[in-house]
Amino acid sequence: MRFRRAAWRDWQLRLRRRSELAEYKLEVNCRRNLANEAMEVIRRVHPYEEPIINIIPLVNRLFE
């Protein structure tokens, strides 16, 4: 039981340390034909192994 509590405490400390890092959100508007190139650039310069990338097409023209 002590081992599990110690492991849990260590995990909580590591989690707390990680949660103190700053996070940033980057939004990019580009033409559809440039989306793949934009994703490649983001992956190349991103500090983590696998960044989260969401592609959201804008459909403003449908509401005109």
Give the pLDDT band of residue 5 (cuts 50, 70, 90): low
Token pair recorded at residue 7: 């492991």
Q: In the chain, helix, strand, coil percent, each to 5?
A: 55, 0, 45
C-alpha 58/C-alpha 29 separation (Å) is: 9
Tens digit of pLDDT for each residue in 11-47? 667 666 555 566 778 888 888 899 999 999 888 888 7
pTM of the predicted structure, to 2 decimals: 0.55
Sketch the domain layout of the chain as residue ranges: 22-64
**Nearest residue to 28 via CA among 62, 55, 61:** 55
